[in-house]
Amino acid sequence: MALLEVDHLSVTYTPRDQPANRAVHDVSFHISEGEFVGLLGESGCGKSTLGNAVLRLLSPPARITGGRVTFDGVDLTTADEEKLRELRWVDLSTVFQSSMNSLNPVIRVHAQFADTFAAHKVPGDVTERATELLELVALDRRVLRAYPHELSGGMKQRVALALALALRPKLVLLDEPTTGLDVVVQRGILTRLAELRRELGFAVLFISHDLGTVLEMADRVMVMYGGEIVEDRRAADMLREPRHPYSRGLLGSYADPRLPDVRVSYIPGRPPDLSRPHTGCLFAARCPHVEDACRTTHPDLLPDRHGLVRCLVAQSDRLPVVTLGSADAATTLGSHFPATGTLDRPADAAEAAPVLTVTGVSKRYTTRRGLRTSSVEAVRDVSFALRPGVVTALVGQSGSGKSTLARIVTAVERPTSGEVRFTGDDGTDVRVDRLRGAALRDYRRHVQMVFQDPFSALNPTRTVAYALSRPLANFAGLRGAAARERAAQLLESVGLAPAGQFLDKLPHQLSGGQRQRVVTARALAPDPRVLIADEPISMLDVSIRAEILELLGDLVRDRRLAMLYITHDLLSARLLADEVLVLNQGVLVERGPTREVIGAARDEYTRLLLDSIPNPFAKAAAG
Amino acid sequence: MAPVAYFVRRFLFFLGTLWAAVTLNFLIPRLQPGDPAEAIVSRLAGQSESIDPAQVQAIRVMLGTPDGNLFDQYVQYLGAVLHGDFGISYTYFPYSVTHMIGQALPWTVILVGVTQIISFVVGTLLGTWAAYRRNSRVDSVITLGSTFLGTLPFFWLALLLVYVFAITLRWFPERGGYGGGSSPGWNWLFISDAFQHSVLPAVALLITGPIGWIIGMRNNMVQSLGEDHTRLAVARGLPRRRVAITYGARIAILPNVTGFAIALGGILGGTVLVETVFNYPGMGRLLLESVSSRDYPLMQAIFLFTTIGVLVANFLADLLYGFLDPRVRKVESV
Amino acid sequence: MSTPAPAVPAPGADTEGVQAAATAVARGTRLPGWFVILWRNRKCRIGILMLAAFVLVAVFAPLIAPYDPRDDAFPTSLGPTADHWLGTTAQGEDVFSQLVVGARTSLVVGLAAGVLSTLIGLVVGLTAGFVGGWVDEVLSFLINLGLVVPALPLMVTLAAYAPVRGLWLIIIVISVTGWAYGARIKRSQIITLRTRDYITAARFAGDRTARIIAREIVPNMTSLIVVGFMGAALGAIGGEAGLAFLGLGDPLTVSWGTMLNQASLGGAMLTGQWAWLIAPGLALSLLITSFTLINFGIDALSNPHLRED
Amino acid sequence: MKRPRLARIAAVAVAVALAASGCTGTEQESGPGTEGRIAYLDYGDFGGGSNPQANYNPYLDASRLGATEYVFEQLITYDNYGCQAKPWLATEWNWTDPRTLVWKLRSGVKWNDGKPFSADDVTFTFDMLKQHKALDTKGIWRYLSAVEATDPQTVTMRFTQPGAAAFTLFSEIKIVPKHVWSTVPDPVTFPNAEKPVGTGPFTVKAFNPQQLTLARNPDYWQADKVMVDELRFHKADGGGQIDQLKLSRGEYDTNAMFVPDIKKAYVDRDPEHNKYWYPSGGSISVYMNLTKAPFNDTAFRKALLPAFNRQEIVDKAQLGYVKPASQTGLVVPGQADWLPKDIPNQGVIAYDQAKADADLTAAGYPRNGDGKRVGKDGKPIQFSFRVPGSWTDWVQAQRIIVANLTALGFTVRAETPTPEAYENDRAIGNYDMLLGVHGGSCNMFRNFQEPLASDQSAPIGKKAVSNFVRWNDPRTDQLIDTLRTATDEAAQKAAVADLTKVMMEQVPMIPLWYGAKWFQYRTTKAVGWPNEENPYAAPSDNLLIITNLKPAGAGAK
């Protein structure tokens, strides 16, 4: 008998003000003792809801509307509070995504361990046991005396992990345990997790949107889409031959940046609205292999080649066959989706005169804390140039000074020393670091930004037309109908056509990708020479990242923009950038043409970044 | 270190506010029209009697006139305040302001202090209970009931109490802090008398007192019970009560505790409305009287006293918050 | 005064979400979105209906009131009769007519003082939060000062010293003593909002500060402003009643507070005129209740944890 | 909700138990006291603010307690209703010339500490008032130049000018013992809180801020007239409501408070015993700013005389407790003796709107086409009329007055400033029309000098002492001067008669009603209270009343 059995589980959200939303629909799966199962899916697909349902932690308005969850023979859906309490943590523990909030902020780490032991009447010395547990996750015992806010995100997540293992559970549910953490830290924690699992032998349900990580870690992978499991298969098999078009699409958005030829694909469209009734396959609208039957018949999850798949086309074996195991798996995998590859570099790019030159820029932040002052050097003696038609990627982990540089370049902040020069089309030369007032506004006509978070970059109360009209009014003097017409053109130029559908929409009516396109359109409105893109895809779902990258790449080429592309993600840098600057603790440690830097990194730090990228294909290649 | 900075900042704010309050205090009476001596005489005469200019003159001499220009007066005033010398009350001449405050303060502190503490304890417990049983019948009864009670204007409530329990039923005395027959002091007769007199005002304060704490506690706790760390505590199999207390109430109570500290500081000002309705010999009534009779020295001192009370309480609340909530020590609030 | 702390969303509450949700809901109806959302909340709906009833009474007061509230031609100190539903005052005025007209005063005071203190709070809070630096230091100090200075004693003092006694004085006194809370909330809200990318984006779009505040920030604070207004109005209504009850109100205006003051002075207890004593207080509580109920709804909106499920 | 309710129930239970056990019992069986005297009488408030402190310094008017009225005595007392001087500590007085007054003191008077009372005490008292201006609240040293003890029973006072006008003041100056007060470092800040020594009929027995108890002084010089053993004064509350209740329940033997609907609330509860008498006090008058048009026109002012519905004000705003005032400035009927006989209806002017309308038109103030009354410049007459906002009965009178004036075509703004602002503006002449109080005392000189003498006035913008209307008339000044110096009654009456004519003819102000002196009493324990039938004293003449009270049922009525 399996350790965890989920049987036809459905969860529905019934908020008062909105129609009911069936977040999880008729989900069945099981996990055996010691098994590491990954649960993959985009945001909103119901994976976290499923996780909470398994833990019976759903809070209103979500509730289980059908099915059962059996753990070790106990029906969790009907178990009484006390029974459940005894079982929790002893057998079934969890680590939440938000490491920021999962520890009680007002009590020390020690007390949180003590609470846990006390709740389950674990005898013995709390400090001793807790220290052991912390050692498991490579933390010093001093952490016990700390309050959560005194720990870094990574440390907190390690504490959460140690806490999850405190009672040696049979199953640990990890819900996006490393999301939001820095790549390098993320890598460290996952590595430790894998080691611990080998040592302790607990089963894991690993919920994540990060396909690379899941495929690398898991024995078996389940892919969720629209509240349903669409594919359930051993990780190795999944890598070799994913059988659901959606799984294929997801896998296609991954690639190893170190390969000579990198190509990724994306899934156009957006996930279904689960508050509306659907007939047929939920993925049909986005599926490249869709057939007529898909639109009318809802497929079941049926056995298919050592796994389960919910696809009529696959089940009737009409899916194009891919056999993989090779290093360029992704290329083939995603071939049925629109793909994006390395940009063709314009021949004259390197020779073009720079529009923006950064010379010897340093930035020191002085913070005053009480009577003492301390200063941090965020950026140290950085020089580079941006040229028209060239994408320069600025790569580094969080805290490396990337964003500070972006702020300096856009004249939001002034450097402590060094200079930033902008050369206009007409040959005018501006010292950016000394701008103020009208000259600053004038400069911004030429230098625009694409923001990281498309949800925060658009005012929720203003329509798309308004957002676009502002730069048009301020920089181009366009108003009224003229501005609207130009706004429509801009929308179409970023692929939002027909523009009339979008102009009067509010941000929340758009998908993340659409928003990011609007943000991009707004940045293009003043017809700038330089575009600063600060992690423009990191908040987007994996399946559509490539789509935005492609858009940015096209814009740079068509409009001969100079672009500074800021990212922690080397794959996207590899896809988009012509040259790469690697920033570590404020210092440029490596620079050069993208292919050279990524393909043959010289600097240790660059290699560390590269190693931190999850690489399922490596495993597939190895296995 | 951050905590030091935090406390230094709070302390500077404390000093700044204190100075502002003292200065305001100095200025307000000086910006007023009218002559306190005339005010006193016309109050003595009543509105339907002509006032005697000779009497006004004598009282003007009695009260004295300040020396020097405004700045000198200000310096003198600051000096006197620093020495705790608030001068002589106009209404209670020749008794000093300090003497009068000394008389009124214990009444207010005991009545309001005790009811505040009870209100806080009761309110916090009820709020916790309501949040613990969120969306249950208990919750609705507590929430809606306290909302309605809380909106009752409490001076009106006090009037009704007097009407019903003192006038109609004659269970309790109608007014005052004690009767005419007992003599203030530590004797049983007086204490029981004072207790009897305090019942109605205390009831008036206790009906509306806990409401703020109930709502505050409930909302804070509902919020903290929704936090991830609480959910994780549930997942960790902690007993429900333990979760509610350590993970819900422990955090939810923080703002309430500081609110309570501030409320305790506010005690010094008394409760003008309730003390007026019950003619209770506390600070609130004294303030109202000093204001209506233009007793500047008394009014200034009470106002200053009240402000200092609130300020000190605020300062202590900040310190307390820093002590109770480890997060504050790192991150500046406000 | 122990009016319950106005239900104001905690700093950083999801006011943008409310706005977005409101806009979403409003589609297809001609009613403003926030109203639709509030209307769907049961407590809030009751509150809105109650308030609407008060507003109607206030607007049509001259039609509803059987007599001129100041007409003292009737027998004095009557109990409830067919002609005088709530009896007459010691001066021979009709209590019911005063009650009806008093609704006007309370609403006018609530509205005016609410608007005024919200405006002060908005200007101070916005300036402090957005401009930052020493301006913020100074304004924050003022805000904190306003928060710690005991309000009722200050109100009493100000009201007693003002040279002219009138309804506007009361309104101004209440506003002057009551703006700080709203200002603090608005300041912390704007500090959250000003770091939003769309604010930076607006700068990049060439917009000036004033326009950014007016067009980008304020619309996202609507629910906060409304809650602040409701809280201020509620405090003002209670404050007016309290001051009037203490005899510091405007004697020319008929208000529930002056009615209670008159009832207290005019021997309502003595002559057993319970209706004279109870009616104004009850009306006052019901009005305040309606505000509180509406605030519940708004609070629930901006604080997802408090939403009714 | 369980907890607070339980707590409340518990509190109520404890309190009820306490009440039942009689812990607060201050009630004492009423009944005859020793030697057929009344055991005690319950009086009303005793002054000293809401939180009274022991203070028996008779000169600290603002903060002393009412006990000083019974502990200390004056040279003479006045029946302030009939305006008759009565010998008290002085048995005789004699103007040897207009500037010299010789007092013969009563013999056998003792201070309540047993020491004899003598002329030294009188001279000490007056010298102390001279030395400490703050204590001279009657301003006696405006008139005096020296006070000497001629012998232990005789005091001679010299005046700087003819002193008849100051005579009534002696009824208000309490004499204090030299042997106590000469040792006090600063009599101004002396609260005299411990066993105050005086010559009066009572001594302080007990005090707490809620109650002041006075005990009969057995050694009082007319102890046989004092038929009450104890006086108990009870602190009043601010609103007065509870006091009204206690009064109606018969818990006071006498009180002096405003009671709305006194008949229903008090008299009807026990018509046999509950009585009240509200004799008239000063005149409350419309003050017009005589420096402004049209108020500077005598014809205009005179035309306004019948414009005000005095009876309505009396009935509505004053609940019928008072009487319409005479235009003469005198209090009728109490001072009717002083009235010239040819003044109709004792100078009380009836409301006659039509007459006022016609008189105004005749005086050159016609109505224009819109019915608005216009001034001599042809513009509608607009002015403000103020009363202090917190004086609700005046506010009500204001409504009637404004309605009366509006009916005549005036545009009147009703304003309600605070009392302080009101008084300030009145003093500096910053007003159009408002209400003022004047007269009502037994001192005819003061009655006319304060509101009308030019030396009590001041230019607009400066504080006038008491002539707020800025009446400036040499003939009036001359009449007032005559009144001040005249020592014989005939001369005084002649001057007063002429002054009443000034009031009637030139209308410096328009009296509307008399302020009432509130006075309620109960005849269950004591009889002999002054009333309309037996107005031997005004309600405030405490010493006269206490020496006239008799136990109820003792035959006296």
- End-to-end alpha-carbon separation of chain B, Å? 19
Q: For chain C, how are helix, strand and coil distributed in percent, rounded to 5? A: 70, 0, 30
Query: A539 and A403, same structural domain?
Result: yes
Locate tokens 């404020």: which residue? A586
Pairing relationship of beta strands D274-276 and A228-234 according to DSSP bridges: unpaired
Domain boundary among A168, A190, A221: A168
Q: Do chains D and A touch (3 or more CB pairs under 8 A)?
A: no
pLDDT tens for A69-90 read 988 888 888 888 888 888 888 8
Domain check: are D542 and D489 in the same one? no
pLDDT in tens, D478-492: 999 998 888 788 888
Alpha-carbon distance of A74 to B82, in angstroms, equals: 73
Residue C148 lies in a domain: yes
The yes-or-no verdict on residue C1 having pLDDT over 50 is no
Q: Residue C2 domain-assigned? A: no
Q: Does residue A396 belong to any structural domain of this protein?
A: yes
Q: Exposure string (b/e) for B108-117, b if CB count within 10 Å is 16 or more?
A: bbbbbeebbe
- Give A221's strand partners: A38, A233
Q: Do D421 and C163 touch (CB under 8 A)?
A: yes
Helix axes C95-131 and C222-245, enclosed angle (nearest 10): 130
Which residues of chain B, if any, have pLDDT below 70?
A: 1-6, 32-34, 66-67, 180-182, 269-270, 327-334
Distance in Å, alpha carbon of C297 to nearest chain A alpha carbon: 13
What is the tens place of the pLDDT at every residue in D371-424? 999 999 989 999 999 998 778 788 889 989 999 999 999 999 988 887 777 888
pLDDT of C198 over the 80 cut: yes
Q: What is the pLDDT of residue C17?
A: 54
What's residue C21's pLDDT? 58
Does any domain span residue A31?
A: no
Percentage of chain A exceeding pLDDT 90: 11
**Residue D524 in contact with residue D536, Cβ under 8 Å?**
no
Q: Is the Cα dihedral A542, A544, A547, A549 positive or negative?
A: negative
How far away is chain B from the Cα of D227, in angstroms, using its nearest Cα? 23
Give me D132's structure tokens.
Answer: 């400490």
Evaluate whether A279 touches A308 at the Cβ level (below 8 Å). no
- pTM score, two decimals? 0.80
CA–CA gap between residue B156 and residue B162 (Å, rounded): 10
Residue A31, H or E segment: strand A21-31
Tens digits of per-residue pLDDT, C116-155? Answer: 999 999 989 888 888 877 888 888 888 877 877 767 777 7
Residue from C198, C208, C215 whose CB has the most chain A CBs within 10 Å, to mutate: C198
Q: How confident is the model at residue D174 (pLDDT cuts 50, 70, 90)?
A: very high
Which residues of chain A lie closer than 8 angstroms to B233, CB-CB?
104, 115
**Amino acid letter, residue C39:** W
CA-based torsion, A524, A527, A528, A529: positive or negative: positive
Q: Indicate if A568 and A536 belong to the same structural domain.
A: yes
User: Are C20 and A507 a contacting pair at CB < 8 A?
Assistant: yes
Question: Testing the interface with A: which of B6, B136, B236, B258 to mutate, by most A Cβ within 10 A?
Answer: B236
Residue C304 has pLDDT above 60, yes or no: no
CATH code at D219?
A: 3.40.190.10
- pLDDT value at C307 more than 70: no
Helix or strand (DSSP H, E) at C239:
helix C222-245
**Angle (CA) A91 A93 A96, round 5°:** 170
Residue B40, min C-alpha distance to chain C (Å): 15
List pLDDT tens digits, range C36-80.
777 777 888 888 999 999 999 999 988 888 888 877 778 877 888
Per DSSP, the three-state class of C67 is: coil
Kindly state whether residue C42 falls inside one of the protein's structural domains: yes
Q: Is residue D381 exposed (0-12), middle (13-18) or buried (19+ Cβ within 10 Å)? A: buried
Do D321 and D449 belong to one domain? yes
Statement to judge: residues D207 and D331 lie in one domain: no
Q: Identify the closest residue of chain C to A470 by CA–CA distance.
A: C205
**Domain edge (last residue) among A168, A193, A228:** A168
Q: Number of structural domains, chain C? A: 1
CB contact under 8 A, D418 and C92: no
Domain that holds residue C166: 16-68+88-308
CB contact under 8 A, B250 and A94: no
- Chain A nearest CA to B13, separation (Å): 14
- Phi, psi dihedrals of residue A256, rounded to the nearest 5°: -90, 115
Cβ-in-10-Å burial (0-12, 13-18, 19+) of B144 comes to middle
Contact (Cβ atoms closer than 8 angstroms) between residue B147 and residue C299: no
DSSP 3-state of A537:
coil
CATH number at residue D96: 3.90.76.10
Number of structural domains, chain D? 3
**Separation of alpha carbons A242 and D442, rounded Å:** 116
DSSP secondary structure, C75-97, as one string? PSS--S-SSSTT-B-TTS-BHHH
Instruction: Please measure the distance between the N-terminal and C-terminal CA atoms of chain C and give it in whole angstroms.
Output: 33
The answer to whether D535 and D529 are in contact (CB under 8 A) is no
Note whether A477 and A427 are same-domain residues: no
Tokens encoding C29: 């109806």
Q: Which chains touch D (3 or more CB pairs under 8 A)?
A: B, C
pLDDT bucket at C11, cuts 50 / 70 / 90 = very low
Between chain A and chain C, the number of residue pairs with CB atoms below 8 A apart is: 86
CA dist C67 and C101 (Å) reads 10
Are both D206 and D98 inside the same structural domain?
no
Out of A338, A366, A382, a domain closes at A338
Residue D10 has a pLDDT of: 45
Amino acid code (one letter) for D121:
D
Interface membership of A457 toward C (CB under 8 Å) = yes
Per the domain annotation, does A224 fall within a domain?
A: no
Q: Which of D264, D389, D414 has the CB atom closest to C271's CB atom? A: D264
Q: Listing from the earlier edge strand, what are the strands of the sheet with D230-234?
A: D41-43, D230-234, D211-216, D202-208
> Which letter, b or e, does each residue of D328-340 get, where b requires 16 or more Cβ atoms within 10 Å of its Cβ?
bbbbbebbeebbe
- pLDDT score for C165: 63
* D1 pLDDT higher than 80: no
Residue D522 lies in a domain: yes
Domains in chain B with CATH codes: 9-82 (no CATH), 97-329 (1.10.3720.10)
Q: What is the DSSP letter of B245?
A: I
Distance CA(A350)–CA(A342), nearest Å, equals 17
Q: Where are the beta strands (DSSP E) in D374-464?
A: 382-386, 411-415, 433-438
Residue D540 in any domain: the answer is yes
Does residue D173 carry a pLDDT above 90? yes
Q: Are residues D318 and D435 in the same domain?
A: yes
**pLDDT at residue A1, rounded to an integer:** 62
ipTM for the predicted complex comes to 0.77
What is the per-residue pLDDT across D247-303, written as a single tens digit (0 to 9) for each? 888 889 999 888 877 888 899 999 999 999 999 889 999 999 999 989 999 999 999
Cα atoms found within 13 Å of the Cα of residue A510, Cβ hemisphere only:
28
- pLDDT at D486 (0 to 100): 82
Specify the DSSP class assigned to residue A600: T
Are residues A110 and A127 in contact, defined by beta-carbon separation less than 8 angstroms? yes
In sequence order, which ranges of A579-615 are alpha helices (DSSP H)?
Answer: 594-599, 604-611
D17 pLDDT band (50/70/90 cuts)? very low
Number of Cβ pairs closer than 8 Å across B and C?
138
Q: DSSP labels for D55-71? A: ---TT-TTT--TTHHHH
Is D396 in the C-facing interface, judged by CB distances under 8 Å?
yes
Report the distance separating Cα A169 and Cα A471, nearest Å. 57
B131: left (phi over 0), alpha (psi -120 to 50) or beta: alpha
Q: Which of C140, C191, C305 to mutate to test the interface with B (most CBs of B within 10 A)?
A: C305
- C199-240 tens-digit pLDDT: 888 988 888 888 888 888 888 887 788 888 888 888 888 888
Q: Which residues contact A57 (CB under 8 A, 6 or more apart)?
A: B231, B234, B235
Give the lowest-confidence range in A30-34, A517-521, C11-15, D182-186: C11-15
d(C-alpha A231, C-alpha A303), whole Å: 10
* Predicted pLDDT of residue D57: 94
Q: With respect to residue C158, please indicate whether it lies within any of the assigned structural domains.
A: yes
Beta strand spans in D390-518 (E): 411-415, 433-438, 509-516
Q: How much is the pLDDT for C132? A: 77
φ, ψ of residue A391 to 5 degrees: the values are: -100, 120
Pairing state between β A203-208 and A36-40: parallel
Write down the mean pLDDT value for chain A. 83
Nearest to B116 by CA among B128, B105, B108, B127: B108
A332 with A257, same domain? Answer: yes
Please indicate whether residue D131 or residue C221 has the higher confidence score (pLDDT): D131
**Predicted confidence (pLDDT) at residue A350 exceeds the cutoff of 60:** no
pLDDT at position A294 is 87
**Residues forming beta bridges with residue D414, ordered by sequence position:** D385
Strand residue runs (E) in A126-240 = 171-175, 203-208, 220-225, 228-234
Residue D324 and residue D387 in one domain: yes
- Lowest mean per-residue pLDDT among A155-169, A364-378, D530-544: A364-378
Residue D378, C-beta contacts closer than 8 angstroms, at least 6 positions apart: D368
Q: Kindly state the tokens that stand for A558.
A: 């068509």
Q: Which of A337-341, A518-522, D272-276 has the lowest mean pLDDT?
A: A337-341
DSSP state of D381: P
A245: closest CA among A291, A182, A212? Answer: A291
Based on the fold, state whether residues D360 and D504 are members of the same structural domain.
Answer: yes
For residue A316, give every residue at least 6 positions away whose Cβ sits within 8 Å of its Cβ, in sequence order, or none. Answer: none
* CB contact at 8 A, C37 and C226: no
Give the integer Cα–Cα distance in Å for D353 and D306.
7
CA distance D365 to D304: 11
pLDDT of residue C6: 36
pLDDT confidence tier of residue D537, bands split at 50, 70 and 90: very high
pLDDT at D8: 44
Which among D182, D214, D232 is the end of a domain? D182
Q: Would residue A256 count as lying in a domain?
A: yes
A96–B231 CB contact, under 8 Å: yes
Domain range spanning residue D116?
46-182
CA distance D412 to D420: 22
Look up residue B122 and give its two tokens: 């009761």
User: Beta strands of D261-381 (E only): which ranges?
Assistant: 274-276, 280-288
Domain range for A425: 357-446+530-545+560-613
- Cβ of B267 under 8 Å from any chain A Cβ? no
A561 with A538: CB under 8 angstroms?
A: no
CATH of the domain at C252: 1.10.3720.10
- Average pLDDT of span A175-191: 81
Q: Domain for residue C7, yes or no? A: no
Residue D130: pLDDT band with limits 50, 70, 90: very high
Q: How far is CA B290 from CA A73, B284, B294, B296, C161, in A?
A: 77, 10, 6, 7, 12
Chain C residues lying within 8 Å of B314, measured CB to CB: 148
- D212 close to B141: Cβ distance less than 8 angstroms: no
Same domain? For A517 and A604 the reply is no
Confidence of residue A325 (pLDDT cuts 50, 70, 90): very low
Q: Find the CATH number of the domain harbouring A376.
A: 3.40.50.300
Residue-level pLDDT at D325: 94
- 3 state DSSP class of D74: strand
Angle of CA points B211, B213, B216, to nearest 5°: 105
User: pLDDT-based confidence at D235, cuts 50/70/90?
Assistant: confident
Pairwise CA distance, residues B240 & B132, whole Å: 9
Which tokens sit at A423?
A: 């050369």
Interface B:D, Cβ pairs < 8 A? 222
Whether A479 and A588 map to the same domain: the answer is no
